[in-house]
Structure 1
Amino acid sequence: MVLAGKLITELGIKTPADKFYKLFTLEFSEVQNICERVHKGKLHEGEDWHDTDTVKHWTYVIGGEVHTCYESFEEVDEQNKKLTLKLFGGDIEKHYKLFKVTLEVVDKGDGTAVAKWTVEYEKINEDIHPPNGWMDYLSQCTRDIDGHLIKN
């Protein structure tokens, strides 16, 4: 009876690591304008999208279904271009006690980078499936953001 787990994916991106990471730390509100599967993001608590105390409310599509959740920054490591988001409430709490998404962006040294996504979770019971749909969602969002940043 395993209730906790981790899913990891690494995706090559054409955007330099600093530029890709900056979108999440300084321009996070723009994700809803770039990613097809993100329908809406809004501030729930706080005044600054990038403050660690701010809570955002998201509406997004995974597996063809619309979902909602709240999110806050748990860790921001500028030096290592690593960001951990804590997701809770909404549809998340129906299935998981713990749900964290970590992004690490690693520069490959040739102007490109690798976006590494880790989803750490703890299911509320053994009947809940692992959040495999999240990996497809994060992969598609990464492609959308990379394509947008390459053009701009």
Structure 2
Amino acid sequence: MLGQLEHELELHVPASEAWDLFGTLRLGQFVAKELPQLFDNVELIEGDGGVGTVLKLTFASGVAGPSGYKEKFTKVDNEKRIKETEVVEGGYLELGFTLFRVRLEVIEKGEESSIIKSSIEYEVKEEHASNASFVSVQSLATIAELAKNFLNKNKPSKEAT
């Protein structure tokens, strides 16, 4: 069984500024700091933020489901501003999924505006098809909203440039 979910949010910062957060390892640090109710830790296992980078995400105690998972960066395109990660250990794989991919794309909308498009693509074995109901873009929507507020607060003022 295949599935895909998407979420989009307009950011009031240039695409280059949004990509400086979403396209780098800063996003993992940001998530760990801003969402302690969801994640206890986001740990760099290997890599420098490029393709092949592996992160270990540990959920906070009390979060339903697996205690965490490892994800691998499978695509990082700085020109098109696209990053894809796949769960390679734990998490959804323990629930019968054979693929769980998150794609983040920063789309330039204007000089001072961009869109963060988040999507989840998954494949789950037929005998575990009911577990597809666990897939949600809510955490990606929450991360996008927190990032929007963070980027707006930390936007360089035009007078300073």
Distance in structure 2 (CA, Å) of the matches to 1:131 and 1:17: 31
Aligned to 2:57: 58
Determine if contact 1:34/1:148 at 8 Å carries over to the other structure.
no
Give the structure with the higher percent helix: 2
Distance in structure 2 (CA, Å) of the matches to 1:57 and 1:40: 8
Which of 145, 149, 153 is 1:151 aligned to?
153
Determine if contact 2:12/2:113 at 8 Å carries over to the other structure.
yes
Determine if contact 1:35/1:145 at 8 Å carries over to the other structure.
no
Distance in structure 1 (CA, Å) of the matches to 2:98 and 2:145: 29
Residues 118 and 131 of structure 1: is their aligned pair in 2 closer, same or farther, counting only changes over 3 Å? farther
Gaps of 5+ in 2: 155-161
Determine if contact 2:23/2:82 at 8 Å carries over to the other structure.
no
Q: Aligned-pair distance for 1:58?
A: 0.5
Distance in structure 2 (CA, Å) of the matches to 1:12 and 1:39: 28
Higher RCO (CA 8 Å, separation ≥ 6 residues): 1
RMSD: 2.2
Residues 89 and 73 of structure 1: is their aligned pair in 2 closer, same or farther, counting only changes over 3 Å? same
Gaps of 5+ in 1: none
Percent identity between matched residues is 24
> Aligned pair count?
146
3-state SS of paired residue (1:5): strand
1:114 aligns with 2:112: no
